[in-house]
Chain A
Amino acid sequence: MKLTLPAFVGRIAFSALAALIGAAFALPLLWFLFAPFNARAELGLAVPDPWTLSNFVTVFGNSFAVQALWNSLIQSVGGVILVGAAATLAAYALSRSSLPGKGAVTYILLLFSSVVSGSAAMVPIFLIVSAAGLIDTHLAVILTFAGGLLPTAMFILRDFIDSIPKSYEESAMVAGASPVQAFFDVALPVIRPGIVVVVVWGFVNIWGSFLIPFILLRSDDQMPASVAIYSFYSEAGTPIVTLLAAYSLIYSLPVIALYLFVSWKFGFRFFGGIKA
């Protein structure tokens, strides 16, 4: 292809502008590339001399920090198991049964889930959880997130199941399978990629969340890493920067890994409500 001189200059200008914006987005994160590996890290940008893993050793020696990571894992895994199982069953029913009013159900669920956001509904959520006697338990966070994420998860999965031909299950049933067998043995393996997407999405949401565990949990041994990191830098007076830098990096790793996994496996398609 021939390029005229103005077009060539234009292309370079476009690339330069895109690179400049990319650099502006990178700036606040650059610090995280260096500080975790610097034993004398401060809030300023500095190349570690020498590079070291000693900050990570400190993190893993801090029982509160390790416990918080563990709590994040319990809450996220518990939440996605519930979301994944309940959403799969419900989405399958919405797609394959002829229950009256199932179109309206989807519409109303979507409406409610976008109206009842965590920051608008923190008071009733707190009251419901305390009425159930679940304040300061993992279960409180797990159930709250399961309820909140389910409408979107059901919506994503119903679309996915709708796109699978019914003939799969039909032929299984002609061969003598019961509807429930057709679901577990025929439909479920075909739906699995959709479930993986929903589970990854749910995990990232719960793992990164702050507000809900912040209001529902009280004691140190229940707190997830998000609340722990916040208390490290907001309440401690002078934050222990070295510990925080390494800890934040460890805490971010699962999210980064899952993002890479999804974009490698599925190509990063995203859905309307990927962030709750």
Chain B
Amino acid sequence: MTTEPVSDQPRRKLRNFALLSNRAGAAFLTPAGLLVSVFVIVPFFWIIFVSFTNRTLLGKTALNPEFVGLANYLTLFDPSNFFQRGQFGFSLILTTQFVLASALLGQALLGLLLAWLIQTVPPWVKRITETFVIAAWILPEVVIGFAWFAFLDRDQGTLNALLTGVGLPKGDFLLEQPFWVIVVFNTWRGAAFSMMLFGSAFSSIPPSYFQAADVAGASSWQKFKDIGLPLIRGHIVTDLILITMWTFNTFTPFLLTNGGPSYRTELVSIYNYRVAFHDFQFGKGAAVGVIMMLINLAFALVYLGIGRKKKG
């Protein structure tokens, strides 16, 4: 055993207050740094480059793509067909409606309602309800896609069996109302996150606030409106930004509808997949990806900005 490092170590520690030398620290960071660089940071810059080329999967332009300037973006934003089904504008508007209806209204409101209800109901009701809401959220997306495929089946599906049971007409919902199907589907799939976030926010409010309101004879709605809601405002903002980003990027509805029928559920993520991997137009697909990333960036900056303000 040598004593040298021991006498050397404290001096160095006093200098920079670190347990790990810079050299060891850099070595520890290297594997993660490489992986993240290659699969997160390089794609970010590479996609911008590819979006200015006419690269395809097959053919001459697969190996020697040409620089085409803004041509891909001009095609995406071509005013003559921008709003047509199967075009980028249609997907973008559809996705906006999808985010508004299924995330901001569906998931957030349902999550809020569930989080509030669960505070007051008997434990066994709470446990059963929570179990199913969370199951919808944690099960693999392919299983969920297949479950809904069976659930909505026109002839035998559980939903139509129920409707028939109460005397309502059957419907082929995947064909007739595909947009509302994916809205309900995504609300169902993701409400658990908002429920848990709001639930933990509610439970961090000191119980004495509610007890005081009880003594004053407040109703549940008054307690919710005047105590619960104002105190979790920060959590609501966090929740809305996160579920907006996830819903904007989700690919799961593809597993239920494939983007159809006739492009009526083709969200931008699914549009991106079709352009790049069905039509093999990588340049155009990359341009779609760039626009998606810019939208993601705007939300992420808002989110991280709020997080920083809270900490600092």
- Chain B's closest residue to A168 (CB) is B19
* B140:A121 contact, CB within 8 angstroms: no
Among the listed stretches B78-86, B100-108, B154-162, B168-176, which one makes contact with chain A, having 4 or more residues with CB under 8 Å of it?
A: B154-162
Contact bitstring A2-14, B, C-beta under 8 A = 1, else 0: 0000000011001
The distance in angstroms between the C-alpha atoms of A88 and B3, with both chains bound, is 30
- Chain A's closest residue to B294 (CB) is A115
The distance in angstroms between the C-alpha atoms of A229 and B157, with both chains bound, is 19
* A114:B146 contact, CB within 8 angstroms: no
Contacts of A204 in B (CB 8 A): 138
A144 interface contact, C-beta 8 A: yes
* A123:B282 contact, CB within 8 angstroms: yes
* A27:B158 contact, CB within 8 angstroms: yes
Contact bitstring B81-123, A, C-beta under 8 A = 1, else 0: 0000000000000000000000000000010011001101110
CB within 8 Å of A: which B262-312 residues: 269, 272-273, 276-277, 282, 285-286, 289, 292-293, 296-297, 299-301, 303-304
* B158:A25 contact, CB within 8 angstroms: no
CB within 8 Å of A: which B222-247 residues: 238, 242, 245-246
* A121:B289 contact, CB within 8 angstroms: yes
B70 interface contact, C-beta 8 A: no
B51 to chain A, nearest CB (A): 9
* A43:B40 contact, CB within 8 angstroms: no
* A21:B129 contact, CB within 8 angstroms: yes
Tally chain A residues at the interface, Cβ within 8 Å: 105
Q: A residues near B, CB below 8 A? A: 10-11, 14-15, 17-19, 21-32, 35, 42-45, 82, 85-87, 89-90, 92-94, 96-99, 105, 107, 109-128, 143-144, 146-148, 150-151, 154, 166, 169-170, 173-174, 176, 178-180, 182-183, 204, 207-211, 215, 225-227, 229-230, 233-234, 241, 244, 248, 251-252, 255-256, 259, 268, 270, 272, 274-275
A158 to chain B, nearest CB (A): 11
The distance in angstroms between the C-alpha atoms of A17 and B114, with both chains bound, is 9
When A and B form their complex, what is the total count of cross-chain residue pairs whose Cβ atoms lie within 8 Å? 321
* B50:A123 contact, CB within 8 angstroms: yes
B77 interface contact, C-beta 8 A: no
Contacts of B113 in A (CB 8 A): 21
- Chain B's closest residue to A227 (CB) is B142
Q: List 23 interface pairs A-B (beta carbons < 8 Å), by A numbering.
A: A11-B121, A14-B121, A28-B151, A29-B135, A30-B158, A44-B155, A92-B28, A98-B17, A109-B40, A122-B289, A123-B289, A124-B50, A124-B286, A128-B43, A147-B35, A150-B35, A174-B10, A176-B5, A180-B24, A208-B140, A226-B140, A251-B143, A255-B139
